[in-house]
Each structure stands twice: as structure tokens, then as C-alpha cells.
Amino acid sequence: MSALFKPSANTGFRIGIFAIALLLGGGLIAGPMIYVRTPFFTQQQDPIDQPVQFDHRHHVGDEGIDCRYCHYLVEKTQWAGVPPTSLCLNCHEQIWNKSPKLAPVRESYFADRPIVWNKVNKLPHFVYFNHSIHVKQGVGCVTCHGRIDEMPQVEKAQSLYMGWCLDCHRQPERFLRPREEITSMTWKPAGDQLQLGRTLKEQYHVQTRTSCTTCHR
């Protein structure tokens, strides 16, 4: 009786085992690496429910209210600043002051209880990001937060991974814009972004750093 497998089958078997091991091993390593980069894991493009149905599309897009009107700390401190309830009532004392959608806002104001918003852009606690310096040096809101004026419910636009931060810290000229266009949602460079970026980098003395303590203390 001849052998069921020819000697060459050994080689085939070895190659097969090797291939399976490679696939499994590669999958074990590459799989999680791919997984943590999916929007599913980073919670990107995932509209977050809020206690008040606040529509940025309407406020930013239709009314053209500047971001800094509500996010009033953005030029001064590390936080952009979620507006105090009293700020909402600056307008809504007069307009839509009976709207049922604004009931939680009125309740918060008169009961002196804060509105509990859900955080959209979360950074780990060992990251000390500062808004004021980025805004000062010409990083636009839209660069990190996306087209807020097109979001009915705000969602995370970027992964906020360290690698993503470093993309800009290593080559800020790719993203810089003139200071006066900081809050613009639609600004596009007239010419070449890189050339403009280099000019602005020079002009604003942008000195991005990649040392660890720049962000981790």
C-alpha cells in the first residue's frame, strides 16, 4: 500500500502550520491594534444625548453666534468653558422663553442647580491640554472639533489619541490658520496651506514641543 501522503506533503503541512500560526498570531496582535483605532472604540461619530436639546446647527449655523460667546474661557484658560445657565438666559429670557425644550434651563436657573451635561471630548486625567494657547497660536476650533455647525447633537470628531496630537505638534504648519479665522467653520486657505502655515508659524512664534511634560505632569 502506497503511503497516503507523499513526502512532499510534509513540506505542505509545515507551510500550512506556519501560515495558520502567522495568521493567528498576526491577528492577535494586529486585531486589537485595528480595533482600538475604530470609531467604535474611540467613540467618534457617536452623537451624545444631552439633558437639553441644544442644537449647534441652529445656534452656530443659522444664527452665526461666535463660539466664544458661550465658550467664553477658551482664550483665557485650559478649558473652553461650558456656559453657565445664566448665559443661556441672556437671550432666552426674551426669546423662546416659554419653549418646553428650554424647561431644564429655566429649572436650572431658578433652582440654582447646574445642568448636568455629558462630556463629549474626554481626555485622560494625566493629560493637561490647554485651549488658550492653541487658540492664541492659530489652531481653529474646527480642526479638532469638526463641523459643529452641522451637528444636531455634538459628537467627537477626532480620535484625540496622542499620535493625533503629535501629528500637529510635529508639523503645525499643516493646520494653522489666521487668528481672526479661529472660530470660522468654513474657512479654507486661499493658497497653499503649507506655505500659509509656515508664514503663520513664523509670525505667531509657534513653538510646538513634543517633550512629555508639555502635556503630562
**Residues of this chain that bind another protein (CB under 8 A):** 32, 35-36, 41, 43, 73, 75-79, 81-87, 108-109, 112-119, 122, 124-126, 128, 130, 132-133, 136-137, 205, 207, 209-214, 216-217
Shortest approach of another protein to residue 198 CB, angstroms?
19
Shortest approach of another protein to residue 172 CB, angstroms?
14
- Give the phi and the psi of residue 156 in degrees, each rounded to 5: -75, 130
Residues with Cβ within 8 Å of 137's Cβ and at least 6 positions away in sequence, in order, are 172, 176, 204, 206
The closest alpha carbon to 42, from 158, 190, 211, 172, belongs to: 158
Shortest approach of another protein to residue 53 CB, angstroms?
17
- Rounded to an integer, what distance in angstroms lies between the CA atom of residue 47 and that of residue 149? 14
Specify the residue, 61 or 81, whose C-beta has the smaller distance to another protein.
81
Shortest approach of another protein to residue 164 CB, angstroms?
15
Residues with Cβ within 8 Å of 140's Cβ and at least 6 positions away in sequence, in order, are 175, 177, 181, 182, 183, 184, 187
Shortest approach of another protein to residue 128 CB, angstroms?
7
Cα 133 versus chain centre, distance:
17
Specify the residue, 96 or 128, whose C-beta has the smaller distance to another protein.
128
CB 117 within 8 A of CB 51: yes
How far is residue 110 from each of residues 86, 89, 101, measured CA to CA in Å?
10, 11, 16
Specify the residue, 19 or 29, whose C-beta has the smaller distance to another protein.
29
Enter the DSSP assignment of 20: H
Specify the residue, 78 or 158, whose C-beta has the smaller distance to another protein.
78
Shortest approach of another protein to residue 207 CB, angstroms?
8
Specify the residue, 8 or 213, whose C-beta has the smaller distance to another protein.
213
Specify the residue, 81 or 178, whose C-beta has the smaller distance to another protein.
81
The closest alpha carbon to 70, from 58, 61, 82, belongs to: 82
